[in-house]
Amino acid sequence: MSDDNDEIDEEDAEGEEGKKKGLPKIVLIGGLGAVILLLGAAAAFFLLSGGEDEHAVAEGEHGEEGGHYESAEASHSDAVYYYDLRDGDGTEETITTNIRSVDGRPVIVQFKLTFESSRDDLGPVLEEHVDPIMDQFIVFLRELREDDLYGSRGMQRVRLELLRRVNLAIEPAQVDAVWIQEFIIVD
């Protein structure tokens, strides 16, 4: 009888060990499935909720003060306006300056900018401050080397620095973004 009880106890012990070995696998697979499900839900949330404002801008007409574009959605209260950099007589300003080259040869940079703002009254402010804006830009650009302008990372740094400098020149008014419309490097 004791042999029968020993056999039953051994079988129970083996069954419990088999259950213990199988339990971590189930927890691991279930946990992995839950993590994948959460990551998928987070990705779907970010993809579906992030793109609405980026496509809400539609083309409008250019006005005398440099023009602007308004939001296409009537229910969307945040309009976006675009202003070209213009001089005192209303002509579009082209920024031309020389920069340092690696080998000492003369390099000239030319570009045109557009400013983005949520304010519809920024055009006259920009026209009023064209000279300080140009001074800020020329001082910055003359310190650049030709290598600083190549690649998307270099252009992004230039855009961010131009944004900082235009906002310094027109304080307390603010520009939200600087867009480079034309960019030419002349050797």
As a whole number, the mean pLDDT across the chain is 74
Contacts of 130 (CB under 8 A, 6+ apart): 85, 86, 87, 88, 93
**What's the whole-number mean pLDDT along residues 148-156?**
85
Contacts of 144 (CB under 8 A, 6+ apart): 99, 100, 109, 158
What backbone torsions phi and psi does residue 152 show, to the nearest 5 degrees? -70, -35
Tens digits of residue pLDDT in 79-129: 888 888 876 666 778 888 888 887 878 788 888 889 999 888 888 888 888
pLDDT in the model for residue 54: 39
Contacts of 71 (CB under 8 A, 6+ apart): 56, 57, 58, 78, 79, 80
pLDDT at residue 70 greater than cutoff 60: no
- Percent of the chain at pLDDT exceeding 90: 11
- Percent of the chain at pLDDT exceeding 70: 69
**What's the whole-number mean pLDDT along residues 39-68?**
53
**What's the whole-number mean pLDDT along residues 40-59?**
57
Global pTM? Answer: 0.55
pLDDT at residue 184 greater than cutoff 70: yes
Contact predicate 136/163, CB 8 Å:
no
Higher pLDDT, 41 or 3: 41
pLDDT at residue 66 greater than cutoff 80: no
**What's the whole-number mean pLDDT along residues 173-178?**
91
pLDDT in the model for residue 18: 52
Tokens matching residue 20: 């213990």
Determine the residue type at 108: I
Name all contacts of 5-10 with Cβ < 8 Å and 24+ positions apart: none
Please state, in angstroms and rounded to a whole number, the distance separating the CA atoms of residues 16 and 24.
Answer: 13
pLDDT at residue 50 greater than cutoff 70: no
